[in-house]
Amino acid sequence: MQEEEKKIALYENFKTINSIDPAYYEQYDVKRGLRNADGTGVVAGLTNIANVHGYVVSDNEKIADEGHLRYRGYDVYDLLGDQSAEHRFNFEEVSYLLLMGELPTREQLDRFIEVLDGQRELPDGFTASMIMRDTPPDIMNVLARTILLLYAYDPDAEDRSAHHEIHTAISLISRLPRIMVLTYYAKRARYNNESMIMHRFIPGQSTAETILSMLRPDRQFTLEEARMLDVMLCLHAEHGGGNNSTFTTRVLTSADTDPYSTYAGAIGSLKGWKHGGANHQVLAMQQEIKEHVADWSDEGQVADYLAKIVRKEAFDKTGLVYGMGHAVYTKSDPRAIICKQFAEGLAVGTEFEAEFNLLKSIERLAPEVILREKGTAKDMCANIDMYSGFVYSMMGIPEDLFTPLFACARMSGWAAHRFEEIVSGKRIIRPAYKSTRSGKRDYVTMDER
């Protein structure tokens, strides 16, 4: 305990003071985490932006179903299938769809890309004074800080008009990837004493190409890598209104705060280990399995180590198999399926193939191991985190950028939900909290304590 803590002893009863008897949640029928008893989410709002489907409810019973993800009614399989057919990038089109509600014509898309291109520049001196100065160790904090600082450069920051809201959203969708890469190199320079690399962006490149071009020291990347990153951006662009960061966006918007404060808050939420930061846990768990399983192709060895994890004997001793299970998806996560398909295309025939096969084994074996060790059957599928870190690693993208890339992609979804909340929400989101103290305590004077 530090000297300051010894002097005031504020921390010795931290857990006791802040604990609430779990029985109260059942007594007062509190939806802990806004979840129903069967794990389904409490319906807290309506949206036209995305449909995240993973189960049906019949006669008050949750029934597992194949997963579907639709943006503005369009299945994500169809949106990304167009990429393969036409050999083009889709993230800009998906962003337009989320923001504007309809798929763009070729002319509209070209104009949208032109507008994005024109917004990538940062204010004069901003990089040196705001990004490279006092860079903290976590890039997500810099993204949030930078968004808040951009408020000061916007003379109309408190304008809530549709024109300003759309302009602000587009500027952040355009700028965040550049800010992310600049921050990554600023962090390496400060903490690793490495050279600061500051590539200019190249007008006309897609968002995926821009990220790889600015990130790679030699600016070189393959078309397959850029398309894979584009797919990842599309898969992370939106996921309904109930996920924590999007709900944060809704809550802050309902309070009628400015867009910069709203998006900074969403980034703070996404950073959390139980939300966007979960991919770090998945990667760490996979690394431990690789280190302790001698033969990755031996499913018996893989299953044995998974059993140790489930029994809380290995990894972080929580009993969780990270990358498996989801709050909505039960039988399948369409994002994981697509990510897995593209990952296989990059991995087969390379030094990554054995690792890819190991991940497939973990996905296949985990439900069986959990059933055997815990004795309870639960519909469970791999989520996108099972393969996303592997995909980024194949492209040489550092782990520091996994969650920031998520934020760059999700800006489009956050903005769409902010727009919808402004127009349709109308009321500040204000749920109730039940006090567990039933009576009044008599005040005790200082001398009597």
88 and 228 co-located in one domain: yes
89 burial level (CB within 10 Å; 0-12, 13-18, 19+): buried
**Domain residues for 318?**
278-394
**CA dist., res. 303 & res. 445, Å (int):** 62
Residue pLDDT, tens place only, 239-262: 999 999 999 999 999 999 999 999
**Of the candidates 240, 315, 264, the residue with the CA atom closest to the CA atom of residue 141:** 264
Residue 211 lies in a domain: yes
Global confidence as pTM: 0.94
pLDDT at residue 189, as a whole number: 87
Q: Which residues contact 13 (CB under 8 A, 6 or more apart)?
A: none
- CATH at residue 120: 1.10.580.10
Looking at the DSSP bridge assignments, the partners of residue 68 are: 53
Sign of the C-alpha dihedral, residues 423, 427, 428, 434?
Answer: negative
Q: Within this chain, do residues 296 and 415 fall inside the same structural domain, yes or no?
A: no
Query: Block means of pLDDT (10 residues each) for the chain, length 449 residues?
Result: 63 87 94 92 96 93 96 97 72 98 97 96 86 87 96 97 98 97 92 86 94 95 95 98 98 99 99 92 95 97 98 96 96 97 93 97 97 89 96 95 98 99 96 92 94
Same-domain pairing of 261 and 135: yes
Q: Contact at 8 Å (CB) between 279 and 388?
A: yes
Q: How many domains does the chain have?
A: 2
Classify residue 38: in a domain, yes or no.
no
| Residue 91 forms part of a structural domain | yes
State residue 127's pLDDT score. Answer: 85
Asked whether residue 212 falls in the same domain as residue 265, the answer is yes
**Residue 346 sits in a domain of what CATH number?**
1.10.230.10
Decide if 158 contacts 258 (C-beta within 8 A). Answer: yes
- How many other CB atoms are there within 10 angstroms of residue 18's CB atom? 7
pLDDT of 13 reads 84
- Report how far apart, in Å, the C-alpha atoms of 298 and of each of 254, 288, 358, 364 are: 53, 16, 9, 13
Does residue 66 fall inside a structural domain? no
| Alpha-carbon Rg for the chain in angstroms | 24
Same domain, 200 and 324: no
Residue 393's identity, in one-letter code, is S
pLDDT value, residue 84: 57
Indicate whether 283 and 300 sit together in one domain. yes
> What is the rounded CA–CA span in Å between residue 320 and residue 392?
23
Spell out the residues 6+ positions from residue 63 whose beta carbon is closer than 8 angstroms to its own: 55, 56, 57
Q: What pLDDT, in 10s, does the model give residues 27-56?
A: 999 999 999 988 899 999 999 999 999 999
